[in-house]
Amino acid sequence: MAKAPALLETLVDWSSGSGPLYARLCAALDAAITRGELLPGAPLPPERTLARALKLSRTTVVQAYQNLRQSGRIDSRQGSGTWVRRSEQDLRPSPQEHDVTSAFRRNVVFRSMLEHAQDTIGMVAAYLPPLPAVAEAARLVARQPLHALAAEPGYSPMGMPALRKAVADSLSRADLPTVAEQVLITSGAQQAISLVAGLLVPRGETVAVEDPTYIGAIDVFSAAGARLLPLPAGPAGVDVDRLRPMLETRPRLLYLVPSFHNPTGALLPERSRRVIARLAAEFQIPVVEDNALAGLGLGPALPPPIAAFARNAPILTIGSPSKLYWSGLRVGWIRGPEALIARLGRWKALADLGSPLHTQAMVVHLLAEEAAAEKARRRENRTRLDLLTALLKQHLPDWSWRRPDGGLLLWARMPSGDANELAPIARRHGVAIVAGSANSPDHRFADRVRLPFVCDAATMEQAIARLGRAWQEYRPLPRRAGGRFDVLV
């Protein structure tokens, strides 16, 4: 059964069209079926349940289902319920597609990259325009005679040797001594997470993650069929006192975002890093530290990566130039014990036979100027964050937050209500937001909104003014923060 809350995530924008409500609902369900968010055979909630979840009259849902039945999109049978119609031409979805579909349903961030809503400002994805250094690196690579690049094997699943060496040098400078053989080049940190999941996470096994955590990681592990074990995480990162009993349950993997946490912006202190490294060595359970945001500190000095505190532990350190330089490069890396990196290399070969050489060559140039890039980003990101907080104080004076130590997100708390209910209202006011529950394996944090500070000043001013108007329209009494899931069917 497509549970009402899960369906609500698919239908976040359902009321934004024109015409009577039943027609808008019908169009939204129709579109969800076309996009494959509701797969052939997927059951729909009973009319009364969906009506309650969407705060509509039952007749509106009855009429919408009626239209979908007439147009051959769904079928119903007395006593058996309602489901998306199967047809002879349907390509049968695999069990993995069911997992990917339900993972995507909650992932408003990735969905926004696939389908851009016009007239809506997206306060959704967290990426910055490229630094000028990216254009310079492109010029340098273009000026190189092609035969210099062509001398590389065109298929290099482990990555361009010069980049593996540049990444190893960069990590060594950050107090994590590394040689090129310990580095696998990937297509972004996202692929790094996928490769690790493919190699180390069998279906049905457990992966421990911070709660909240990075949406893209929740999705990869869920799509791999893993069960997610949430670990409480606060302003100082994961609570290390809870780790030992959790590791005794033998999860397959522990995934962390220590520098700077997505979405809270927290920095894991050196003391906690030492504890985690010691436990990884003792239990020999792989720890993945995703440092994709590590170059985006706003103030405090960055401690060494967790892997620096235990040389013989199965710790995988993920990195990427996406956030510091530009996400369009689609380059990333994994650093770890040589044997594990070699095994991951086989998965990389199966995935795509290696990442494009010319962007790898650009990243070799970029890594030579890291300190300058970090300084430039720190200056601009502080300005953007200051503007965002000033706008929030003006338009949403009863919201609260902790200033992030780094990263690109502000984890804001509403004084009451449920951000999943605010999100469709905000859409109608022309701004897309992500409810905090998308960052939680257990759908907690529905009273939070994850706000990127990445756009220019004029756009941000407009976005927060629109959000303020949406909040004025929504603003519930302070009675049931995060209480949306009582409509579960």
Question: Which residues are at the interface with ligand PLP (CB under 6 A)?
Answer: 126, 188-190, 214, 216, 257, 262, 290, 292-293, 320, 322, 327, 332
Q: Cβ of residue 438: shortest distance to ligand PLP, in angstroms?
A: 13
Q: Cβ of residue 63: shortest distance to ligand PLP, in angstroms?
A: 40
Q: Cβ of residue 293: shortest distance to ligand PLP, in angstroms?
A: 6
**For ligand PLP, the closer CB: 7 or 183:** 183
Q: How far is Cα 478 from Cα 473, in angstroms, rounded to an integer?
A: 15
**For ligand PLP, the closer CB: 122 or 424:** 122
Distance from the Cα of residue 37 to its chain's centroid: 18
The amino acid that residue 21 corresponds to is L
Handedness of CA 135, 140, 143, 149 (dihedral sign): negative
Q: Cβ of residue 191: shortest distance to ligand PLP, in angstroms?
A: 7
Q: Cβ of residue 99: shortest distance to ligand PLP, in angstroms?
A: 19
**For ligand PLP, the closer CB: 293 or 361:** 293
**For ligand PLP, the closer CB: 259 or 272:** 259
Strand ranges (E), 173-281: 183-186, 206-211, 227-234, 237-238, 253-256
**For ligand PLP, the closer CB: 44 or 209:** 209
**For ligand PLP, the closer CB: 214 or 309:** 214
Q: Cβ of residue 188: shortest distance to ligand PLP, in angstroms?
A: 3
Q: Cβ of residue 92: shortest distance to ligand PLP, in angstroms?
A: 30
**For ligand PLP, the closer CB: 295 or 303:** 295
The amino acid that residue 46 corresponds to is P
Cβ-Cβ contacts under 8 Å for 359 (sequence gap 6 or more): 329, 330, 331
Q: Cβ of residue 391: shortest distance to ligand PLP, in angstroms?
A: 22
Overall residue count recorded for the chain in this entry: 489
Q: Return the residue nearest ligand PLP (CB atom).
A: 188
Q: How far is Cα 298 from Cα 483, in angstroms, rounded to an integer?
A: 34
**For ligand PLP, the closer CB: 113 or 148:** 113
